Chain A
């Protein structure tokens, strides 16, 4: 049973728009309302879709050049003086290259800096593994004081950016490159909340990012075979919505986690860590198994990495039989 308060009724025939584009639109929205919003990028304004903000608010936009470590430090300095800086780059460069700056200049100082990592996951596609951040969730969620958010479509990305402004402290927002289904109706986004889009009694599917829509499609497919999956969007990986996940698992007794990230340290790991101390049940984790991605069109890469529809369906069936 799909929750049509949250999922658009026409979700099976959606428009396509990139999550990164939604993030850029969210920045424009908060920039219009709040004069203390500033945006920094490291020479990637157009790629990470902060060019609209740049064109509208040039006096609050800073391209620091190809220098991600300095970008984070400058953002921290701006935050110390009351601005709310958003930094935007490819996730593999920031947080990737600027991790220690985020750790000390941002997290240890509790600086109100928001880090946007775009082109995350192998969905980054054609740029190849050097540009595909598949460890960013792990890097960010181990940092004290850091919040980790993974919006599932462009609509949610807008709301996620708005919510990040209201949250006082460091936030990481994960964005993705390809145009993907826009299927959620615009809802208030809450830090620390998971969103249940489909109810089911047989298997809990915890997904994040692009994989949420794909999970819904798989769940509808499996329903034809009489298997009812509960689909939960783990849009806030940290803090994790334990209550929503535990309530589902108490019912289904088995879980599959699906993410475009290493299975070590990612969203699935966060779920397993939480369940192991609360309600241990079998969990199957789908993601990258200690391997890099490949260069290629993203759907082709997904097929090769086991993140395409058929592979996910098989994985869910296997999880159902656990």
Chain B
């Protein structure tokens, strides 16, 4: 799984390099989460939904969708280009496998809540473990949006236990370290206080991601929040933990070093 995650990381870097724009830190930090969702069978892609609320992470999702066969991998080089199926932020109806338009932070969280509610209504006759689930990835900068907390209030009230949030807690946002911008206090405790079933994991270990998801899947009566502690820019030493790499475009020599460190052979 680590090999797949690193391949997706390298795909993402190549996309950002080719486009001359895009984000690096988030796609790299969340690669193990995305790889696990799409390649481990811990979720049922035939019926479950994946929503990337932090839409600027889309290179990693596009890479996963391409490697999964939703579209040809050579389409990745057209990321952000006019008339390509891979716009700068996810758009419903444009990219195979993308079900929700996202990008403006916080919005995907509410849409995920609505979809989980709809699935509960449609499949009310099903047992809990059979009900289709919604997996929503959000970022730790994103939870500065008030809408996110509006959504939690409602999701908990409606007992949406088919809804699993995965927070990519990479501790950077576009301008700075998250902790330099705002104070979240004790973040796990905060989610618990809102009524979310909260699990803290190492989000850069696939086995940990699987543990978190399985724990969420067995929880009944409330939505889950997997707090995935990750490293921004994970996998390439000079990109790690540096807000500058939130949206920096790698040079050719940086790409070569990245390829070596990620041990990608293709």
Contacts and interface: CB of A to CB of B under 8 A. Distances in A.
Contacts of B179: none
Interface string B143-162: 00011001101100110000
Given A76-B110, A82-B118, A82-B122, A65 B93 contact: no
Interface string B80-102: 00000000000111000001111
B131 to A, nearest CB: 12
B154 A77 contact: no
Nearest to B112: A77
B147 A70 contact: yes
B188 interface: no
A238 B110 CA distance: 28
Scoring A59, A74, A75 by chain B CB atoms within 10 A of each residue's CB, the highest score goes to A74
A69 B150 contact: yes
Contacts of A64: 150, 154
A73 B111 contact: yes
A74 B154 contact: yes
Given A70-B150, A70-B151, A80 B110 contact: no
Contacts of A233: none
B106 interface: yes
B159 to A, nearest CB: 13
Contacts of B107: 73, 100-101, 104-105
Contacts of A83: 118, 121
B137 interface: no
Interface string B108-120: 1111111111110
B195 interface: no
A73 B103 contact: no
A127 B86 CA distance: 47
Contact of B115 (A62, A77, A104, A108): A77
B104 interface: yes
Scoring A62, A64, A70 by chain B CB atoms within 10 A of each residue's CB, the highest score goes to A70
Contacts of A77: 100, 110-118
A230 B43 CA distance: 63
B248 to A, nearest CB: 26
A75 B114 contact: yes
Given A65-B154, A104-B107, A78 B146 contact: no
Contacts of B158: 62
Contact of A74 (B101, B106, B113): B113
A67 interface: yes
B114 to A, nearest CB: 2
Nearest to A103: B104
A73 B163 CA distance: 15
B101 A104 contact: yes
Contacts of B122: 81-82
A142 interface: no
30 contacts: A62-B117, A65-B157, A67-B147, A67-B150, A69-B106, A69-B150, A70-B113, A70-B147, A70-B151, A70-B153, A73-B110, A73-B151, A74-B110, A75-B114, A76-B111, A77-B111, A78-B114, A78-B115, A80-B100, A80-B114, A82-B122, A83-B118, A83-B121, A100-B104, A104-B102, A104-B103, A104-B104, A105-B111, A108-B101, A109-B100
Interface of B: 91-93, 99-104, 106-119, 121-122, 146-147, 150-151, 153-154, 157-158
| 6 shortest interchain CB distances as A-B pairs | A77-B114, A73-B110, A81-B118, A70-B150, A67-B150, A74-B114
